[in-house]
Chain A
Amino acid sequence: MKYTYFPGCSLEVTAHDYDSSARAVMRALDSDLRELPDWNCCGATGAEVLSYLLSVALPARNLARARALGDQIVTTCSACYLNLFRVNSHLAQDPGLQPRLDAVLGEAGLRYTGGVRVRHLLELLVTDIGLKAIARRVQRRLGGMRVVPYYGCLVVRPYAQFDGPDLPTSMDRLLTLLGAAVVPYPMKTRCCGGVLMTTQPEIGLKLVGDLLAPILDADCVVTVCPLCQLNLEAYQRQVAARLGRALQLPIVYFTQLMGLAFALPERDLQLDAGLVGTEKLIRRLGHAGAWA
């Protein structure tokens, strides 16, 4: 099966490990992520500050281009997922939006009236490809690795399309299937601070500290979002100073752990891209020899 894939800006560079592992995992499951040609930024969090119409039209350009390739688009970034999904939702709810969007996209020679289903890769894996097919591909179970599933806000709110908005379980089930020991984590959809880590670092550090403090003895945190990954990983030194505790907690993507269980090579998983080393994690699994 082939899927039109929207990587989003973060996955080009900052989260290239997410991009690489996502593509590799899908290949291993006999599926293919075909990158949408010449995609543009989805508008991130900044577009709506400038103009509501811009925040709809930027992701709509991608959907219009995806429409020519099929009836769905898959993304890995939670913010991209939300922005793309929101276009369909707002077009369906507000009849006055279509002519305004036509006027904007018409300037680019495009039109979008809905019809492209927006999926997050986690949703696609759990619902379409299915846990049974994933289980068949597992070659080395994760040996009871204590993992904390962290979903962040945007993948399940405000559009709880494939999981619960407060206590989702889809990634928990996936990780259990891989052989991991999932740590119960009631804060799994609390905000990581998003861009506040840059604009209001005191608030951002407080939020990340609140998230990490209860799980310091876990083996790793597993995320579905590149900004969550960066916020939880990049400021651990500052958070450790606030907590008065040592903190070296790897923050990995769910696709990297899937690839680990599938015995995919490091060149695909790129666990060495993490700012917090994952060597201890790999050693604990007894997989070190496979990473040459």
Chain B
Amino acid sequence: MGVVRRHGRNHEPELLLRYFLRTNPLGLAGQAPLGLAMWRRKRMSVLARDIGGKAEVEAIFRKSLELDGARGAEEGPG
């Protein structure tokens, strides 16, 4: 959810990149053909776009995590 916290929306390439770097860096190579096929069909964007209200989304993250006593309340979008 860090991607959503940073941008306000999900950005699938960034999500997958972070997921594989954290869990299985070698697995990234296996995703390359699919990523390329998606990119050729304009179904993958390289850069994420922030929404205008991303400060609102950050406030929602911070307060929700604080009230639920969850980790990350003070971390910010980073």
Partner-B contacts on A (CB < 8 A): 9-10, 12-17, 38-41, 43-44, 46-47, 49-54, 57-58, 61, 100, 103-105, 107-110, 198-199, 234, 272-275
Contacts and interface: CB of A to CB of B under 8 A. Distances in A.
B61 A54 contact: yes
Contacts of B67: 53, 100, 103-104
Contacts of A41: 4, 8-10
B43 A109 contact: no
A13 B60 contact: no
Contacts of B63: 57, 103-104, 107
Given A9-B10, A13-B43, A16-B43, A38 B64 contact: no
A272 B65 contact: no
Closest 7 CB pairs of A and B: A108-B56, A54-B64, A107-B59, A9-B10, A51-B68, A53-B64, A41-B4
Contact of A273 (B1, B43, B53): B43
Given A14-B44, A273-B41, A58 B57 contact: yes
B65 A50 contact: yes
**Central interface residue in A9, A43, A46, by most chain B CB within 10 Å:** A9
Contacts of A53: 64, 67-68
18 contacts: A14-B12, A39-B51, A40-B53, A41-B10, A44-B4, A44-B10, A46-B1, A47-B1, A50-B70, A51-B65, A53-B64, A61-B53, A104-B60, A107-B59, A107-B62, A108-B53, A273-B41, A274-B41
B16 interface: yes
B1 A50 contact: yes
A181 to B, nearest CB: 28
A29 to B, nearest CB: 26
B5 to A, nearest CB: 9
A272 B10 contact: no
Contact of A52 (B8, B68, B72): B68
Contacts of B42: 13, 16, 273
Given A40-B8, A44-B10, A46-B1, A54 B60 contact: yes
B14 to A, nearest CB: 11
Contacts of A100: 67
Nearest to A109: B56
Contacts of B9: 9, 12, 39-41
A58 B1 CA distance: 11
B78 interface: no
